[in-house]
Chain A
Amino acid sequence: DAGVTQSPTHLIKTRGQHVTLRCSPISGHKSVSWYQQVLGQGPQFIFQYYEKEERGRGNFPDRFSARQFPNYSSELNVNALLLGDSALYLCASSSDGGAGGNNQPQHFGDGTRLSIL
């Protein structure tokens, strides 16, 4: 079975531009989460979506938004890019994630490496 797939793998943008990152979860997984990993740090939680609804949001500005589609794939959008947005963006999927879920392990994709010039 295919794992979590993310596209593109690498992306170069300039300050002020907008970017869309895409994620396809493992088949059967209904929850998708997004994380930002700056070089040398652990991943930081951005969003969680379950059954197309936002279930959680980390401490990120409103320039960051996301959505989940009926097929459970997801997009992360970042507007007005800043140099500090340069990072590896990781998508993770799990089989649960709704209220009362039992925290099934999140399985991560290879990430999208975003560089801002």
Chain B
Amino acid sequence: AQKVTQAQTEISVVEKEDVTLDCVYETRDTTYYLFWYKQPPSGELVFLIRRNSFDEQNEISGRYSWNFQKSTSSFNFTITASQVVDSAVYFCALSEIGGGADGLTFGKGTHLIIQP
């Protein structure tokens, strides 16, 4: 069975600090996809990134960066120079390759609070 663990329930930092959100996953599949989504108070889940299990290159997009380490089954997300607008709940998710018939398996989320 697939499982995603986000051990940090809530993180609070002051604006402009860097912050890292942890994600650890479990799967028996050798091929799979990992995702990060952002959920602002409005409720909509906003897609941030998708990474397949064959690609362990780290990725940077503006102030966002992702560190995928297959050896430790982790897919961590770092926000550099955080801003108040980054405040939201962030979810890490996992799905198997081949149609995703089991849907996405989400972690419980990390509530990120950026204080001005």
Chain A interface (Cβ < 8 Å from any Cβ of B): 33, 35, 40-46, 48, 50, 55-56, 58, 88, 90, 92, 96-103, 105-111, 113
Question: Contact: A55 with B47, CB < 8 Å?
Answer: no
Chain B residues with CB under 8 Å of A109's CB are 44
Which A residues touch B64, using CB under 8 A? none
Which residue of chain A has its CB nearest to the CB of B101?
A56
CB-based contact B99/A99 at 8 Å:
yes
- How far is A106 from B103 in the complex, measured between Cα atoms in Å? 10
| CB < 8 Å A-B pair total | 79
Q: What is the bound-complex CA distance between A29 and B42, given in angstroms? A: 23
Q: Which single residue of chain A is at the shortest CB-CB distance from B48? A: A105
Residues of B near A90 (CB, < 8 A) are 43, 45
The stretch of B13-21, B66-74, B78-86, B106-114 that contacts the partner chain:
B106-114
Give bound CA distance, A33 to B52, whole Å: 20
Bound: A40/B4 CA distance, A: 15
Categorize the interface residue count of chain B: 20 to 34
Kindly list chain A residues whose C-beta atoms are within 8 Å of the C-beta of B50.
103, 105
- Given A43-B45, A107-B47, A108-B45, A102 and B102 touching (CB < 8 A)? no
Residues in B whose Cβ lies below 8 Å from that of A105: 35, 47, 50
Which residues of chain B are within 8 angstroms of A88 by Cβ–Cβ distance? 43
Q: List 16 A-B contacts (CB under 8 A).
A: A33-B104, A35-B104, A42-B91, A43-B91, A43-B106, A45-B104, A48-B101, A55-B101, A92-B45, A99-B99, A100-B99, A101-B99, A101-B100, A103-B95, A108-B37, A113-B43
Chain B: residues with CB nearer than 8 A to chain A?
Answer: 4, 33, 35, 37, 42-47, 50, 52, 91, 93, 95, 97-109
B contact residues around A33 at 8 Å (CB): 103-104
Q: How far is the CA of A113 from the CA of B43 in the complex (A)?
A: 9
Are A35 and B99 in contact (CB-based, < 8 A)? no
CB-CB under 8 A from A48, the residues of chain B are 100-101, 103
**B98 lies within 8 A of A42 (CB):** no
Contact A110 B107, beta carbon cutoff 8 Å: no
The answer to whether A103 and B91 touch across the interface, beta carbons within 8 angstroms, is no
Contact B108 A45 (CB under 8 A): no
Min Cβ gap B57→A in Å is 18
